[in-house]
């Protein structure tokens, strides 16, 4: 497996909203550190791609402290 994590020290995500991030029905988006907005679709697309390739994606976050977005996918060595 290959694991990749992206760490940010932005606004973070409240615990009660974490489950909404990867669901289209959750429709969750917040303003960033410079009030930028997102569509809420990026993580949903990432989740779909990663799971279709046998991987897993998750997030750890604390409001006001930042977030760590991580995923794993199988390593395929073609020779």
DSSP secondary-structure letter at 10? S
- Give the rounded percent of residues in the chain with a pLDDT score beyond 90: 48
By CB atoms closer than 10 A (0-12, 13-18, 19+), residue 77 is exposed
Instruction: Report the C-alpha gap between 30 and 32 in whole angstroms.
Output: 6
What pLDDT, on the 0 to 100 scale, is given for residue 76?
A: 82
> Model pTM?
0.79
The DSSP bridge partners found for residue 67 are 8, 61
Is residue 27 very low, low, confident or very high in pLDDT (cuts 50, 70, 90)? Answer: low
Q: What is the CATH number of domain 2-73?
A: 3.30.565.10
């Amino acid at each position: 497996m290959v694991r990749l994590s992206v760490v940010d020290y932005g606004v973070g995500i409240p615990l009660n909203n974490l489950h909404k991030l990867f669901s289209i029905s959750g429709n969750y988006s917040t303003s960033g550190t410079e009030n930028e907005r997102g569509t809420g679709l990026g993580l949903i697309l990432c989740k779909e791609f990663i799971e279709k390739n046998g991987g897993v994606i998750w997030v750890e976050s604390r409001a006001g402290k930042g977030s760590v977005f991580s995923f794993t996918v199988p390593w395929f060595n073609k020779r």
